[in-house]
Amino acid sequence: MLNIVLLEPEMPANTGNIGRTCCATGTRLHLIEPMGFKINDKMLKRAGLDYWDKLDVTVYDCYEDFLEQNPDAVKKMYMATTKSKQDYTDVQYEPDAYIMFGKESAGIPEEILVESQDTAIRIPMNKNIRSLNLSNSVAIVLYEALRQNNFFDMQLEGELHRLHWKE
């Protein structure tokens, strides 16, 4: 199972959208305090719609608490940042990888990034743009990790219902 880690998220709508994406993909969500909202925030629930109760989510007091409770994360952590030289498609994601994203206003602190330069990843974008929306960034990277792992046991095809088709 893949893991999305949000370090100090600030906007409940982004986190709600990310929670919904995690539900749709069978991905575990890790939220690291302090957050810019309460976990019961109505904007969080609205963005996550009626999926929030199906979400595998854990909240941690701080980054150190997250590392203590997830010792394997250190070896399987990919850090999404605009400061990386490596694209998100350049790495091979393990089936139980952890993909971390920083808070909307500042990203992941450099003191954490320095320890993970080899696994820092970036999404290419125009030079004049500071960053993408957090929930969009999570979706882009998460779906690449899922693709590399053959989408696990996700539904891979749909079907049209021919109820209103004329023959």
Query: Is 131 annotated as belonging to a binding site?
Result: yes
Helix, strand or coil, per DSSP, at residue 94? coil
Which residue(s) pair with 99 in the sheet?
Answer: 4, 78
Integer CA distances (angstroms), 35 to 48, 61, 133, in order:
17, 10, 17
Query: Is 123 annotated as belonging to a binding site?
Result: yes
CA distance 14 to 10: 8
Closest CA to 146 of 19, 26, 20: 26
Known binding-site residues equal 102, 123, 131
Known binding-site residues for S-adenosyl-L-methionine equal 102, 123, 131
